[in-house]
Structure 1
Amino acid sequence: MNPSTTSPSCAQALAAAQTLGLDRLDAQLLLLHALGKPADARAWLLAHDTDVLPPQTAEDFRALSLRRAAGEPLAYIVGSKEFFGLALQVDARVLVPRPDTETLVNWALEVLQSPGMLAAPEILDLGTGSGAIALAIAHSLKTAGRQGHVVAVDASAGALDVARDNAARLGLDVDFVQSHWLQEVSEHFHLIVSNPPYIASADPHLDALTHEPLTALAAGPDGLDDIRAIVRQAPASLLPGGWLLLEHGYDQAVAVRELLVSGGFEQVQSRQDLAGIERCSGGLWPGG
């Protein structure tokens, strides 16, 4: 039997995936995954669009496409997500790292490069998940030839397992602590960063995020419960002149700045993401 009558070509398989509702890029990345090829090999698909897929590959690709069509994040299906130039392994134990969070990392690195910062700063990432923020900072310091001690905290043992695996695979030295925010943290830091849950518990957008851990997304009626806890607890773990930087929702900047000011922080400000949305807010702890 001619295999072309039972198994589709690359182009036919991609077209079938798009009829399921997948966008072209997702379909291409899933097909590359099914073929065992890297995500940057999309040009290969164009050059081989008439190649007939092996039956097992076609079957695997169909199954992957159905998972994506059902709303499962692409990163969970392929098992990885790039963040700040790092390839991170992710699964349903952690949130998929978002590009918006790179705004927080860039601000953290700016703080760490400020004139008053020590050569070997102490840094804490609260709610580390896959380790994205902590590992991006650790990698940037290592690349710059700088010393620094990075600690990453999460309440979820499963998330810490994912983060530890990422750190080991990337060859980055980060300490991991299981703790609900700062409860089990005894050290003091020059910089605390966090991308905590900040979606209101009744927000309809949660319906589209059912594949990701709810505890890493929602934080009370107004979405600010965890940010309140962090702002309240952070001063006891910050050195004088240390910074607290927080990611938050698109419409929460004013409320978060008010929390920081009322909590005694100075130089309170916000930073915009690439879309021009105030995505992060932070302040300096005067201490002393």
Structure 2
Amino acid sequence: MMRLDELLVRAARRLAAGSPTPRLDAEVLLCHALGVDRTWLYTWGDREAEPEAEARFEALVAARAEGRPVAHLTGEREFWGLSLATHPSTLIPRPDTETLVEAALARAQAPEGRLLDLGTGTGAIALAFASERPGWTALGVDIRSEAVALARENAARLGIANVAFRHSDWFAALPGERFALIVANPPYLAADDPHLERGDVRFEPRRALVAADDGLADLRHLVQAARHHLARGGWLLLEHGAEQGAMVGEALAQAGFTEVSCHRDLAGHPRVSLGRQADESR
């Protein structure tokens, strides 16, 4: 039997060729195999691994070495401090999308209101927002019934009550409904984008990643359609690719949105463009 810290070193070396975070991947997978958290692992790393746990860990490392996403192997991913169940049918929540949550929270200073999260997937955005704004209600919609079920499962497990999830193709099931904030992380990659053949993206659903018109079709559709579902003075916030900020900003301005701006992600890339619905009462 090997010590846990020795297992980690060996696994990290094996994963180094294909993962940008081999040590972190190894730690998360070992914690999953052992059923412990990383604090326990740091405290008791000099213990010897039981044969069954070592076998489980080695199988997980082998799958990760083949490229399988850690979130698919463990069935969960942390986002905004929330542990979310994941599934291969939905996108894996990523740190870049926390930029969208931050921008939405900054525009939710009223004591109450409604937020709509389009293409909610795991429910990550809606749940993160709802956890920070208990006076607001959040609604997440998705065209995939399995995603709606997963998001509901996450809400129930986390005990977040001011959020609901509904099956809808964008706004199709929301006739006449209006929201103070509408947010979305829609498909925005072109069909020939090289990122589709790299890293975890290789194992994620193409329909949640790729859009027509060089990745801009869904973004442009949402800019036009959102105007009919925003309250006066409401905000539309859209996550997009690092090279799409100027084009999305232009689409927002041409559609009559005001106060158009773009927020950068942790790496400094343009990531979230937003605009405000004209408030005719002012």
Aligned amino acid, residue 239 of structure 1:
A
Aligned amino acid, residue 16 of structure 1:
R
Alpha-carbon deviation of 1:287? 5.4
Indicate the SS of the match to 2:259. Answer: strand
User: Structure 2 regions of 5+ residues with no counterpart?
Assistant: 17-21
CA–CA distance in 1 between the matches of 2:9 and 2:113?
Answer: 52
Alpha-carbon deviation of 1:220? 1.8
Alpha-carbon deviation of 1:63? 0.5
2:171 to 162, 167, 182: 182
Q: For residue 129 of structure 2, what is the aligned residue in structure 1?
A: 137
RMSD between aligned alpha carbons? 1.5
Residues 79-133 of structure 1: CA deviation (Å, up to 9, x unaligned): 21111111111121211111111111111011011xxx4x321110001111111
2:255 to 259, 263, 270: 263
Aligned amino acid, residue 185 of structure 1:
L
1:230 to 214, 222, 227: 222
Aligned amino acid, residue 81 of structure 2:
G
2:202 to 210, 231, 240: 210
Change in CA separation of 1:66 and 1:271 when aligned onto 2, cut-off 3 Å:
same
CA–CA distance in 2 between the matches of 1:123 and 1:15?
Answer: 45
Aligned amino acid, residue 36 of structure 2:
K
Aligned amino acid, residue 48 of structure 2:
V
Change in CA separation of 1:41 and 1:93 when aligned onto 2, cut-off 3 Å:
farther
- After TM superposition, the score normalised by the length of structure 1 is 0.90
Q: Contact (CA 8 Å) 1:92, 1:213: kept in 2 or not?
A: yes
Q: Contact (CA 8 Å) 1:201, 1:221: kept in 2 or not?
A: no
2:145 to 129, 144, 157: 157
Aligned amino acid, residue 203 of structure 1:
D
Aligned amino acid, residue 35 of structure 1:
L
Matched, 1:240 2:232: yes
1:96 to 83, 92, 95: 92
CA–CA distance in 2 between the matches of 1:205 and 1:40?
Answer: 34
Indicate the SS of the match to 2:192. Answer: coil
Q: For residue 38 of structure 1, what is the aligned residue in structure 2?
A: 37
Q: Contact (CA 8 Å) 1:247, 1:280: kept in 2 or not?
A: yes
Q: Contact (CA 8 Å) 1:29, 1:42: kept in 2 or not?
A: no
CA–CA distance in 1 between the matches of 2:5 and 2:41?
Answer: 12
- Percent identity of the aligned residues? 44
1:169 to 141, 147, 157: 157
Flag as ranges the 4+ runs of structure 1 deviating above 2 A.
Answer: 11-16, 18-22, 39-42
Indicate the SS of the match to 1:17. Answer: helix
1:15 to 9, 23, 27: 9
Residues 151-199 of structure 1: CA deviation (Å, up to 9, x unaligned): 1111111111111001011111212111111111121111101111111
Indicate the SS of the match to 1:81. Answer: strand
